[in-house]
């Protein structure tokens, strides 16, 4: 049996199942593409290309006819799992399941910080679009957006076919790709973040970077938001991750002799709107012995005065 594939409970005589046309259905999901490739946007085409790179190309093509005839009766996407019902030759539809492990919370946290640092990425996502660089952002955070190898996918179908993927799984993949065209956030939902959760998190990070209170979390729409300047102090956004917080606490300077010898600061995106106290924001909070957070608050007005014209001093 091929890796990642479970055989259904049905059996047949001989080495191969008998050839037969699937039962016609009414009201199934019909692929929009009548011929040629399936997928309109870069993310859906990329998903199909990833599957084909796993040497599934010839087996995937067997499911195109099923997808275009409407044999897929239902398709549902949830974190880590896609389920579908596909009508085949038998009276009862086959049950199809495709599992892909959701990204970890740490991977999501890193990815969200990287996305929030770029106003253009946030604008694309808030408009219901996937920025072309999205896959690179996920990869840089150690969190591949698409499955990296065939064994990342667990493919299950209740049909008696041993092939991986069978035509029922293949039809599901094609309809899944088209559903990504309809709503690209389904990809992210499959990887573990709903649209509402991700956009609320990005808005909160952007607001924190601008130094203003985060807006209340409520219903999220897909309308573009006003671009803001790049997020600063991005490392602070990972403070809720236990490992990162522990590392920061262990390395934070605690006295006046070591405070200015902090590790090298993270790179900040170039922007004409960077705040004058940017350097101060990037420094770790000093120890209580030299003033703690109060020292940082006292220094901030000095940075503003230094940036003022000489006549305002």
Three-state secondary structure readout of 129-183: CCCCCHHHHHHHCCCCCCCCCHHHEEEEECCCCCCCCCHHHHHHHHHHHHHHHHC
User: pLDDT digits over 61-80, tens only?
Assistant: 888 989 999 999 999 999 99
- pLDDT, average across residues 103-119: 91
- pLDDT, average across residues 234-241: 38
Q: Taking the model in full, what pTM does it have?
A: 0.62
Distance, CA of 291 to CA of 253 (rounded, Å)? 12
Distance, CA of 276 to CA of 154 (rounded, Å)? 51
Would you say 164 and 5 are in contact if contact means Cβ atoms under 8 Å apart?
A: yes
Closest CA to 275 of 236, 301, 298, 293: 301
Three-state secondary structure readout of 176-227: HHHHHHHCCHHHHHHCCCCHHHHHHHHHHHHHHHHCCCCCCCCCCCCCCCCC
Q: Tell me how far CA of residue 36 lies from CA of 28, 43, 205, in angstroms.
A: 20, 17, 42
The partner residues of 98 in beta bridges, in order of sequence, read 82, 155
**Is residue 8's pLDDT more than 60?**
no
**Is residue 164's pLDDT more than 70?**
yes
């Amino acid at each position: 049996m091929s890796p990642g594939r479970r055989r259904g409970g049905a059996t047949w005589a001989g080495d191969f199942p008998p050839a037969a046309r699937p039962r016609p259905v009414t009201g199934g999901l019909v692929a929009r593409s009548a011929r040629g490739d399936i997928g309109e946007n870069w993310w859906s085409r990329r998903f199909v290309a990833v599957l084909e790179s796993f040497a599934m190309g010839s087996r995937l093509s067997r499911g195109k006819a099923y997808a275009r005839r409407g044999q897929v009766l239902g398709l549902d996407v949830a974190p880590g799992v896609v389920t579908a019902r596909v009508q085949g030759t038998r009276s009862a539809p086959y049950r199809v399941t495709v599992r892909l492990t959701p990204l970890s919370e740490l991977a999501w946290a890193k990815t969200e910080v990287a996305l929030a640092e770029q106003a253009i990425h946030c604008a694309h996502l808030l408009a219901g679009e996937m920025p072309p660089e999205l896959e690179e952002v996920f990869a840089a955070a150690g969190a591949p957006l698409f499955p990296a190898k065939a064994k990342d996918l667990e493919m299950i179908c209740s049909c008696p076919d041993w092939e991986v993927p069978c035509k029922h799984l293949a039809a599901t993949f094609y309809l899944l790709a088209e559903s990504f065209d309809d709503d690209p956030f389904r990809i992210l939902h499959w990887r573990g973040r709903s649209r509402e959760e991700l956009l609320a998190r990005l808005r909160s990070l952007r607001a924190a970077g601008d130094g203003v209170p985060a807006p209340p979390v409520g219903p999220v729409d897909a309308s573009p938001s006003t671009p803001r300047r790049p997020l600063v102090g991005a490392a602070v956004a990972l403070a809720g991750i236990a490992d990162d917080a522990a590392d920061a606490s262990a390395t934070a300077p605690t006295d006046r002799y070591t405070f200015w010898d902090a590790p090298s600061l993270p790179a900040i995106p170039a922007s004409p709107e960077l705040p004058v106290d940017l350097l101060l924001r990037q420094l770790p909070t000093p120890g209580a012995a030299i003033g703690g957070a109060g020292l940082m608050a006292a220094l901030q007005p000095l940075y503003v005065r230094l940036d003022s014209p000489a006549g305002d001093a």
